[in-house]
Structure formats: C-alpha cells, structure tokens
C-alpha cells in the first residue's frame, strides 16, 4: 500500500506553486470509505481463545487464567492470497487458506468501543493466533424489513424497512419470528444481530432457535448469566458461534462497553441442526414502556483468519499475515449429521 500524498498551494509573489508534501495514512478513514464503496473493507469479529493456567513445566491446566475475548465491529481490509485450498487428510476433508489483513494502528483500535483499555484491560494488542472472523456468506437472515410473521404477547411491531421496532406493554416480552417455509441452517456456524433500546431500562436476557416444532425439546437456548441493559444511543452487536450440543456455563460471550457477559447454552433433546429453522425468539425484561429496536439478524458461515505473523506495525496502520483453517466441508458435515 503506497503513501498518501497531500498537495499544498503556496503563494509566491502572486503565483501559486504546487508542492508535494508526504503525509501519513489515515487507515481508519480509508477503511470507512472503502466500506461505503465496496465490500473489500468490512467489520470483522476479533477473537482470542481463553488462556489457561500452566504448571511448572509450562503445560496448560484446566483452570482459566484469562477469559476469551470476542469483540465484533473491528474494521479491516482482507486481501486473500488463497481463500480455499481443499485438502484430504486422515480425519477427512479440510479447507485452508492464506492472506493479509490491514487494520488501523493500535492506538486507533484502542479507541474503539470494547477495545478501549479504560474498560477492557484484557485486550492489549493483536497477537499471534488471535483470529479475525469474517463472513463467508449469509445462510439465512431473519427479515426485519416488515412485520409479517413477527408475534409475541404484549408486543406491538413496526418497521422502517431496515429494523423492527417493538413497543413493550409488559415487563417481560418475547418477540419472535416464525418461518413460513423451510429454511436450512446447517451450513451456518455463527449468529449475529444488533439491539438498541429507548427507555434505558429494557434488558436483553436471551435468544432461542427452534427447529421443526416450538417446544423446549426442539430449542437451542442462549441465556445470559447476567442481563445486558440495552444501550440507547449505539447498537449492541451480538456475534456468537452456533454451537452444537449443551455446553453448560460460560459457553460464549457478548461484550458491552468492555464488560464481558457469559452465555449458558443448552439444546433440547430433539433439536437437530439438519432440521429446518422454525422460529427465532428473544426475551427482554424490565421492558414495559420501552421501545426495542432489532436488526441484522443473520445466521452465517464464517471465515476464520488466524494471525500467523506480522508484516508491518507502524503509527499509520498494521498488516498481518493470516492463515485459515476452516474444518470439514459442508457436504461432509451434512453427511455426518444425517
């Protein structure tokens, strides 16, 4: 990436002289402009796996020393050198790749929500084997462009063509969308959506997915251990893995203003990822009299890029060499799940 050149006009005895002045790169602005004009620059989720305590020999044990970090909304420019190389291994088919990722400098990143060390001391810098999670493709997006098929007691719905506005007339509400046809979600491995409130008291408690029926046996439930009070001026972005099976406590996380909130995840006895999605449902508390805004509900297939090495770190931008290990191909996942 070349240097940005700034031109300055200097008055010299009534004549204008054009001079070239080398300037620094404002990578954050470049990424914003590229995101508005193309899909090359987009926001990704930064992820760092939990760190475990080590014994005297440096072997990791079972106790968590530092919790996982999962922070959506990091602007990045991704330049794949190889997006997908299909490999046959003893464990089955695998997908690998390589590329480079450009981000703003570390000082700029630390000024972003959730990355600010004033409220999130767990994030210090981007290190080896940290991950950038990008979207490969959307498998299914829950419509918020209209109110058709949205339901729930004590809820009134409206849409501006982008988001659903829910007017709550009770303390606890469960806005839900029921799928009218058949929607396959097996290829999805992550779930994301955005929430915002108006009254300052509404709290986000959980979300649920149902397959062929709407009973608890057919439910996958993501319930927060501590409710999150919805922000009123910015969006709360939730981006979590679509996890198979019951994982118990602290299975995944959502951050708000640098504070980590844990989910407990449980699946009903008959919930199957090979079945079609039937219903997507939220639960909010302390909601009476509040407006709740919901948008960008997506089940998507992700691309995980792991930091392998650092190409360049400077005051203007960062460049990371990244590798991809995506796991089994979708046809094998479906065959094994059937």
In this prediction the pTM is 0.85
pLDDT tops 90 at residue 203 = yes
Left, alpha or beta for 122 (phi > 0: left; psi -120 to 50: alpha)? alpha
SS3 assignment for 53-68: EECCCCCEEEEEEECC
- 3-state class (DSSP) for residue 106: helix
pLDDT tops 50 at residue 124 = yes
**Residue 213: its pLDDT value, please?**
78
Q: What is the mean pLDDT of residues 204-222?
A: 91
CATH architecture of 140-301: Sandwich (2.60)
Q: Which of the two residues, 67 and 226, has the higher pLDDT score?
A: 226
Residue 173 DSSP class: B
CA 240, 186, 99, 296 dihedral sign is negative
pLDDT tops 50 at residue 254 = yes
Q: Rounded to whole angstroms, how far apart are CA atoms 17 and 21?
A: 13
Residues 178-193: tens digit of each pLDDT? 999 888 888 899 999 9
Residue 68 DSSP class: -
Helix, strand, coil percent content, the chain, rounded in steps of 5: 10, 55, 35
Domain residue ranges of the chain, discontinuous segments joined by +: 26-137+303-327, 140-301
Residues 141-189: tens digit of each pLDDT? 999 999 999 999 999 999 999 999 999 999 999 999 999 988 888 889 9
pLDDT tops 50 at residue 92 = yes
Share of the chain above pLDDT 70, in %: 80
**Residue 193: its pLDDT value, please?**
98
**Residue 9: its pLDDT value, please?**
37
CATH annotation of 26-137+303-327: 2.40.10
H/E segment holding residue 228: strand 219-229
């Amino acid at each position: 990436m070349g240097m940005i050149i700034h031109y300055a006009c200097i008055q010299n005895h009534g004549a204008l002289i054009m001079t070239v002045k080398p300037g620094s790169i404002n990578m954050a602005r470049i990424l914003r402009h590229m995101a508005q004009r193309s899909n090359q620059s987009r926001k990704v989720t930064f992820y760092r796996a939990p760190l475990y305590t080590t014994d005297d020999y440096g072997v990791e044990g079972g106790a968590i020393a530092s919790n996982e970090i999962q922070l959506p909304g990091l602007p990045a420019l991704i330049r794949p050198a190889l997006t997908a190389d299909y490999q046959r291994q003893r464990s089955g088919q695998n997908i690998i790749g390589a590329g480079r990722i450009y981000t703003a400098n570390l000082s700029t990143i630390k000024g972003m929500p959730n990355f600010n060390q004033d409220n999130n001391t767990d994030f210090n810098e981007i290190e080896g084997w940290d991950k950038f999670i990008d979207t490969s493709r959307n498998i299914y997006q829950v419509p918020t462009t209209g109110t058709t098929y949205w339901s729930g007691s004590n809820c009134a719905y409206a849409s501006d063509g982008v988001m659903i506005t829910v007017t709550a007339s009770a303390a606890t509400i469960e806005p839900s969308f029921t799928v009218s046809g058949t929607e396959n979600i097996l290829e999805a491995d992550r779930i994301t959506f955005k929430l915002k409130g108006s009254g300052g008291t509404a709290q986000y408690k959980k979300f649920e997915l149902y397959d062929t029926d709407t009973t608890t046996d057919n439910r996958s439930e993501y319930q927060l251990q501590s409710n999150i009070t919805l922000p009123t001026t910015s969006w709360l972005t939730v981006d979590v893995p679509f996890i198979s099976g019951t994982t118990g406590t602290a299975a995944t996380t959502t951050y708000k203003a640098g504070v980590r909130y844990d989910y407990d995840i449980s699946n009903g006895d008959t919930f199957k990822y090979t079945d079609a999605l039937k219903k997507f449902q939220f639960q909010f508390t302390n909601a009476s009299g509040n407006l709740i805004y919901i948008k960008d509900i997506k089940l998507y297939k992700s691309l995980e890029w792991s930091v392998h090495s650092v190409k360049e770190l400077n005051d203007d931008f960062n460049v990371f060499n990244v590798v991809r290990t995506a796991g089994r191909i979708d046809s094998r996942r479906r065959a094994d799940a059937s």
